[in-house]
Amino acid sequence: MMRVLGIAGTAKNTGKTTTLLEVLGYLSSLGRRVFVTSIGYDGEDFDNITGLPKPRVFIPEGTLVATALPLIQASSVKFTDLQDTGVRCALGRVFVGRASAGGKVVLAGPTSTRDLLSVMKFAPKMCTVLLDGAFSRLSPMVVAGALILATGAARSPDSHRLAREVEIIGKIMSLPVHGFFASGSSPGGDPGSAGRTINVEGGLFLKGQGKELGWRLIADGPGQTVVYVRGIVNPAVFDETLSELEGYRRDPVVFVISHPILMLLSGDVLAWEDVLCRAEEMGFVVAVGSSSELLGVTINPYRPSYESATGRFVATYLPPRTFLDDIRNLTSVPCTDIILEGPEKLRSWLHRYVEKQNS
């Protein structure tokens, strides 16, 4: 069966490419067929913004690659079985090809979820699809069954803040999956024992939308209600709902958000710490329709630093061991620094993931 594994980042330069290379190498060593693409642009010699050198993307022989045609043509790798996916990205039409030998490639694939799904139709049924992230982009990762997150000093040099982010992301990715929504049935029908339902189409990410939902829930009267939210949810807007309900409603409410990643796209992710606690204290349940398993987090002490005197970026590093330990000690999510600790921990996450899938 096809498995989709995403390598997402919390920011640019957090180590996605390094992680991707390890994952690619490991899966290939297991003899797995790998289909790789990027939701952005990766494998270039120098960073598009900082101008600093970047890790190149080396693909093993036999890897299926989905990337823009001009990059296939410019690659030193010879590709066979080329197929036009019909998807167009900013650099041209996305083609899928099989690497006839190992070598360097630049990845530039579908950038939207819709296009990603179209391109993934070209992946064989029995393979692992590797999605290479870009910047802090997460949205297309909703199609991934599992995620590895890359974060580090480029996101913030404050290890305490990073640990809090990792922890809350881990918590959000672990929210319970609400079966009814996940089953694909149309919410809004009879939820059975769940009581009444309210459907919120288009998400909760604009100021005032949360307040409006609160009023609807108050007007709904007593009894259990399930609120299905399709779309992006901003913690501050969600908190508006809680504030409206404060003192007015104590009946159980189950908020079902279609995917946890939709809780990470708007607003300050750390705000969810208080918002989820508050919901829990009020006796409400926050669940998700479907989810992606967070396998672990890779930590990168690298940080491009702008030198105003020269007008250039220079590479700087926080002390790797201290930085990693500070984060690890404050979160329950598995963390590793691949360069510092080697790839073993990452491989153990992948091993568990593969075993689980096989079982």
Residue choice 54, 56, 137, 345 for contact with other proteins (CB under 8 A): 137
Which of 136, 188, 168, 172 has the alpha carbon at shortest distance from 259? 172
* Burial profile 166-204: b = 16 or more Cβ within 10 angstroms, e = fewer: bbbbbbbbebeebebbbeeeebeeebeebbebbebeebb
Q: Give the binding range for other proteins (CB under 8 A) out of 56-64, 84-92, 177-185, 271-279.
A: 84-92
**Among 83-91, 164-172, 289-297, 327-335, the segment contacting other proteins (CB under 8 A):** 83-91
Residues 41-60 that bind other proteins (CB under 8 A): 41-42, 44, 48-50
- What is d(CA 6, CA 141) in angstroms, rounded to the nearest whole number? 6
How many other CB atoms are there within 10 angstroms of residue 4's CB atom? 21
Among 28, 111, 225, 292, binds other proteins (CB under 8 A): 111
Among 40, 235, 289, 296, contact with other proteins (rule: CB under 8 A): 40
Q: How far is the CB of 111 from other proteins (least distance, A)?
A: 4
d(CA 47, CA 30): 31
- 74/218 with CB nearer other proteins: 74
- How many other CB atoms sit within 10 Å of the CB of residue 40? 20
When asked if residue 291 is in the footprint of other proteins (CB under 8 A), the reply is no
Least Å distance, CB 259 to other proteins, is 9
CB of 139 to other proteins, least distance (A): 4
Which phi and psi (to 5°) does residue 180 adopt? -60, -45
Residues 307 to 326: which contact other proteins by CB under 8 A? 313
Spell out, one character per residue from 112 to 131, where the chain touches other proteins: x when CB under 8 A holds, - when not.
xxx-----------------
Structure tokens at 21: 């290379």
Contacts of other proteins in 245-264 (CB under 8 A): 261-262
Q: What is the CB neighbour count within 10 angstroms for residue 72?
A: 23
**Residue found by looking up tokens 């693909």 in the block:** 59
Smaller CB separation from other proteins, 93 or 345: 93
CA pair distance 152, 301, nearest whole angstrom: 6
Nearer to other proteins, 226 or 229 (CB): 229
* Nearest distance from C-beta of residue 90 to other proteins, angstroms: 4
Report the nearest approach of other proteins to the CB of residue 62 (Å): 26
d(CA 221, CA 217) in angstroms, rounded, equals 7
Q: Which helix (H) or strand (E) holds 282?
A: none
Q: Which range touches other proteins (CB under 8 A), out of 55-63, 228-236, 291-299, 346-354?
A: 228-236
**Choice from 177, 265, 270, 339 touching other proteins (CB under 8 A):** 265
d(CA 90, CA 12): 19
Instruction: Output the smallest distance, CB 81 to other proteins, in A.
Output: 23
169: helix, strand or coil: helix
Tell me the two tokens of residue 90. Answer: 């900013």
Report the interface residues with other proteins, using CB under 8 A.
11-12, 39-42, 44, 48-50, 68, 88-91, 108, 111-114, 134-140, 142, 202-203, 205-206, 231-232, 234, 261-262, 265-266, 304, 306, 313
